[in-house]
Amino acid sequence: MINTRFSVAVHILALSASVPREKLTSEYIAGSVNTNPVVIRRIGSMLKKAGLLESQAGIRGFALAAQPEAITLLDIYQAVQKEEEALFGVHPSPNPRCPVGQNIQGALDTAFGSARHAMEQELAGISLKNIMNDLFS
């Protein structure tokens, strides 16, 4: 299921984009997000691995690795969404003797797959620059 990692990741990138020539420390970012710097470092590492943030050994802080218009919400979502986490959870043990229970997983997999695809298409059409425009308009 979608958790707060995604919104925190967007927050980190938007904050970094708002001061493009500066490297922001995890402590500074944590103050804006109102969370622990360890959380910021963990998510920042995911964003760095995806090529969305950059950092240098021996120099504290993160900086945006691409222009905001080149980063989509889908890029961010994919950077922080773990493979084993399903977007929609289904209860794990329906009654296999019930006609609904034995078929609910397949029926929901189809519906949830369509919803996930639609969500990803929507996220692909929204850039970090769009979010920045909304933040500062």
Q: Which CATH number fits domain 4-135: 3.90.10.10, 2.40.30.10, 2.60.120.20, 1.10.10.10?
A: 1.10.10.10
More confident residue, 2 or 6: 6
Give the orientation angle of helix 104-124 with respect to helix 73-80, to 10 degrees. Answer: 130
More confident residue, 39 or 87: 39
Q: Identify the pLDDT of residue 132.
A: 95
The number of CA neighbours under 13 Å toward the Cβ of 83 is: 0
Backbone angles phi, psi at 77, to 5 degrees: -55, -45
Paired tokens of 73: 């919400």
* pLDDT band at residue 84 using 50, 70 and 90 as cut-offs: low
Look at residue 102 and tell me whether its pLDDT is greater than 70. yes
Q: Which pTM value belongs to this model?
A: 0.86
Task: Domain ranges for the chain, please list them.
Answer: 4-135
Q: Identify the pLDDT of residue 60.
A: 87
Q: Exposed, middle or buried, 13 (CB in 10 Å: 0-12/13-18/19+)?
A: buried
Look at residue 104 and tell me whether its pLDDT is greater than 80. yes
Q: Identify the pLDDT of residue 21.
A: 85
